[in-house]
Structure 1
Amino acid sequence: MGMEKVSSGDRNKKKRLRQKKVSAVQKLYDTCRDVFADCGPGIVPSLEAIEHLKDVLNRITASDVGVWPNLPYFKVKETTRYPKITYLHLADCDKFSIGIFLLPPSGVLPLHNHPQMTVFSKLLFGTMHIEAYDWVDGGASISTPKVDASKGEVGSVSARLAKLKVNSAFTAPCNTSILYPTDGGNMHCFTAITSCAVLDVLGPPYCDPEGRHCQYYQTHPFTSFPVDDKKLPNDEKIENYTWLEEIDKPAGLSVVGAMYNGPKIIEK
């Protein structure tokens, strides 16, 4: 019996079918593995690699990862300052992590940092306000007395000068935002105006033993303390600068892990 001849059209069809078997999240994982392969704390991927990962993220939709605005995580039952936020873990290793934050309306991820990380954030759906800051290179630090009237105690405020980089509302669909170890808004705060889902890629991920722990901040207007405005670089506006004070994790903040039920990722 002779072999059946396969046309080039059939070969191309089979190739397309094989390509369709690779899910969007699998492609994201594979891309992250390549992009962060030679990176580490404080080491930023090449511009070409960043653009490639950004392009992959820009193409991902909520349905690609199995999340929708009608999921029960978005039904707010409490009226606390910090409605519960849900985190879906997709994948992680020592080089990067992938996850999705689900924020109900008025949900807040308070101002926090990303030490030595390159971070990609893709808003999958919803409207969210983002406020983000970078440290001022060689910027001033202050330590000034602070009185806690309720406790009758005298303490101090230690804060560092930062510059406002982002203070706007974003509505999906929108492009992926990127922040770098020292630029792009390394400290940021997310406030959900509607139900929101944010796909996050961190390279490398947080790691307490290696000193990459999540630190929270409280803002103080530049004029809060008796300092000379000549400390501002390039004679810029006072409104663009803020003092950031390190604080403990805000009381009531609850980020709870939940099972990711979207397409599975094969960690090679």
Structure 2
Amino acid sequence: MKVGEKGDVVGAEEVERAAVAKRRRAGEGGGGAVGRRGRRRGGMQGAAAGVQRLFQACRHVFRGPGTVPKPDEVHLLRAMLDRMRPEDVGLSPDLKFFRAKDATQGPPTITHTTIYKCPNFSMVILFLPRNAVIPLHNHPGMTVFSKLVLGSMHVKSYDWVDPEPDTSVSSCSSSSSDSELRLAKLVVDDVFTAPCDTSVLYPTTGGNMHRFTAIAPCAIIDILGPPYSIEEDRDCTYYTDFAYTHRPKGWFVFLFGAADDTGDLNNVEQDQARLAWLKEIDMPRELKICSVQYRGPPISDK
């Protein structure tokens, strides 16, 4: 898909303002039964228009791998997602994805559906039954917008203390299995309940590694720019986290490059409560994800 040369954020905002003005004008006319029917049709059309406008904004904002949206572009997408309702993408709490699973059946299955995907971005929905867990994982080189539209979930997220560690001095670290650990700082550790604000994470900040745990059945709209791609070295990596007190001897030399860098060490020591060691692991066997066809309001990429 080719993005038009004039496809900037200003254009997306103008489209949205025009759509809002049109809906307001439509709501001013008509009465009685005809007016009520018109409002019902308007609600259905409004849902389709909402997801279409979101798609158009994504097409303007995400221009390919290696680019990060500008602050005004982030503001635009965030504002659009903040207004998204479950019905805008064809959701309701009655869908089978949200039904509680019996504990004897093992870990709940997470359901995934793709609204749209191209090399520049993807729009997906995640359905988590109660107690379902998306393990701690990363988003390499990606900007991600997450909007909880149904339910309640606990989010725990981290950023690396050193986004680009100097691996040339790795021989100074412990030679045991602890040498695979890497220091991260806690960004979010809280419960979110819909409706709530959209969260944004960036390639190296904002909580790039996160874990979702469904407290109540929930649905999340995720926009990823660019999407995961094994071919382009953006595969998903999973982690397990350990308390900061689990640190191995000599690891600070690996992280900071000099054993006598007391300023950095003191800063780390004073912030122990928000630090953890992350270790890369294989995809957890208990993780069950299935894909289904998107059946919400359609979008047009023309």
Instruction: Report the TM-score range of the alignment, normalised by the length of the smaller protein.
Output: 0.7 to 0.9
Give runs of aligned pairs for residues 19-168 of structure 1, distance below 5 A.
23-37=49-63, 39-41=64-66, 43-79=67-103, 82-137=107-162, 143=174, 145-146=176-177, 158-168=180-190
User: 2:211 is paired with a residue of what secondary structure?
Assistant: strand
- Identity across aligned pairs (percent)? 45
Deviation at 1:14? 9.6
Instruction: Decide which moves more: 54-63 or 230-239.
Output: 230-239
Structure 1 CA distance for aligned equivalents of residues 100 and 47 of structure 2: 37
User: Which amino acid in the other structure matches residue 220 of structure 2?
Assistant: V
Deviation at 1:237? 2.0
Residues 9-56 of structure 1 deviation map (CA, whole Å, 9 limit, x = unaligned): xxx86995699596111111001000113x423x21111111001111
Structure 2 CA distance for aligned equivalents of residues 165 and 14 of structure 1: 39
Greater per-residue strand proportion = 1
Does the C-alpha gap of structure 1 residues 223 and 178 become closer, same or farther in structure 2, counting only changes over 3 Å?
same
Would you say the 8 A contact 2:161–2:183 is kept in 1? yes
1:238 aligns with: 272
User: Which amino acid in the other structure matches residue 238 of structure 1?
Assistant: Q
Does the C-alpha gap of structure 1 residues 195 and 21 become closer, same or farther in structure 2, counting only changes over 3 Å?
closer
Greater per-residue helix proportion = 2
The alignment yields a C-alpha RMSD, in angstroms, of 2.5
1:208 aligns with: 230
Structure 2: runs of 5+ lacking an equivalent: 1-20, 27-41, 253-261
Does the C-alpha gap of structure 1 residues 26 and 143 become closer, same or farther in structure 2, counting only changes over 3 Å?
farther
Would you say the 8 A contact 1:96–1:203 is kept in 2? yes
Structure 2 CA distance for aligned equivalents of residues 213 and 94 of structure 1: 14
1:181 aligns with: 203
Instruction: Decide which moves more: 181-190 or 76-85.
Output: 76-85
1:8 aligns with: none
Structure 2 CA distance for aligned equivalents of residues 28 and 158 of structure 1: 40
Structure 2 CA distance for aligned equivalents of residues 13 and 104 of structure 1: 38
User: 1:243 is paired with a residue of what secondary structure?
Assistant: strand
Would you say the 8 A contact 1:163–1:241 is kept in 2? yes
Does the C-alpha gap of structure 1 residues 20 and 158 become closer, same or farther in structure 2, counting only changes over 3 Å?
closer
Structure 1: runs of 5+ lacking an equivalent: 1-11, 147-155
User: 1:88 is paired with a residue of what secondary structure?
Assistant: strand
